[in-house]
């Protein structure tokens, strides 16, 4: 899957993956991380998620990374804020108090740009990538973390023969294979959400399991 795929979807307004409300798993499980005010949180492949504003409202310093400039423009328009804009070699950076938004290729993000991370929130990044890119994504994400960095990861699982992603099916076993050597993992929730997702049923999916994991980067 090439970057142009996502850029074209944003350009055409095909953003059905964008949710208008804060993710309930984020609201339910994030407080257990016990982060202090000013904690640095990375949100990869962030889109224009309203979760960014929610995290900022919890006192977090949020760093978002997203390929599409359309997403950045839409996000700050929705926030009603005018960001300061700067450039690095690989990113256009939009910044308001408590939120830095990097427009560019997540695989070019560096620890120096991300800063020392306390937490990561991935609701729609891993499941947006096909299987051949997921190991590289996991390695990149891990490389940006320090010992003790916490992550909240939301994944979807459905019979792979029933639908072509994105979002892609990612099993618990695959998540363990991707992150188990570098992180501790705890499954926080597992629920079939098909009744609440008619567009998946319309695509022929008969089971749609949402899993939520808490990860911690090993020392």
User: What are the extents of the domains in the chain?
Assistant: 3-12+22-28+37-217
Structure confidence by residue, pLDDT tens digits, 164-190: 889 999 999 999 999 999 999 999 999
Biggest distance spanned by C-alpha atoms of the chain: 46
pLDDT at 3: 59
The band of 20, judged by pLDDT with boundaries at 50, 70 and 90, is confident
As a whole number of angstroms, the distance between CA 202 and CA 197 comes to 9
Those residues whose C-beta lies under 8 Å from the C-beta of residue 3, and which sit 6 or more positions away, are 67, 105
pTM of the model: 0.93
Is the model more confident about 10 or about 155?
A: 155
Write down the CATH superfamily of domain 3-12+22-28+37-217: Vaccinia Virus protein VP39 (3.40.50.150)
* % pLDDT > 70, the chain: 92
Per-residue pLDDT at 53 exceeds 60: yes
The band of 18, judged by pLDDT with boundaries at 50, 70 and 90, is low
């Amino acid at each position: 899957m090439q970057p142009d795929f996502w850029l074209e979807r944003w350009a055409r307004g095909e953003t059905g993956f964008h949710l208008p409300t804060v993710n309930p798993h984020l609201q339910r499980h994030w407080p257990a991380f016990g982060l202090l005010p000013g904690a640095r949180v990375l949100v990869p492949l962030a889109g224009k998620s309203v979760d960014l504003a929610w995290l900022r409202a919890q006192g977090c310093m949020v760093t978002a990374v997203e390929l599409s400039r359309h997403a950045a423009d839409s996000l700050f328009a929705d926030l009603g804020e005018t960001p300061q804009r700067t450039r690095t070699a690989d990113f256009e950076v939009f910044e308001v108090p408590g939120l830095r938004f990097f427009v560019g290729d997540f695989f070019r993000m560096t620890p120096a740009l991300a800063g020392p991370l306390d937490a990561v929130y991935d609701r729609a990044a891993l499941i947006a990538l096909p299987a051949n890119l997921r190991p590289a994504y996991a390695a990149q994400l891990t490389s940006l973390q320090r010992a003790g960095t916490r992550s909240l990861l939301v994944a979807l699982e459905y019979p792979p023969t029933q639908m072509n992603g994105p979002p892609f099916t990612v099993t618990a076993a695959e998540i363990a294979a991707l992150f188990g050597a570098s992180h501790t993992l705890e499954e926080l929730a597992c629920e079939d959400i098909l009744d609440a997702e008619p567009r998946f049923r319309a695509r022929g999916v008969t089971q749609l399991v949402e899993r939520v994991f808490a990860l911690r980067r090993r020392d």
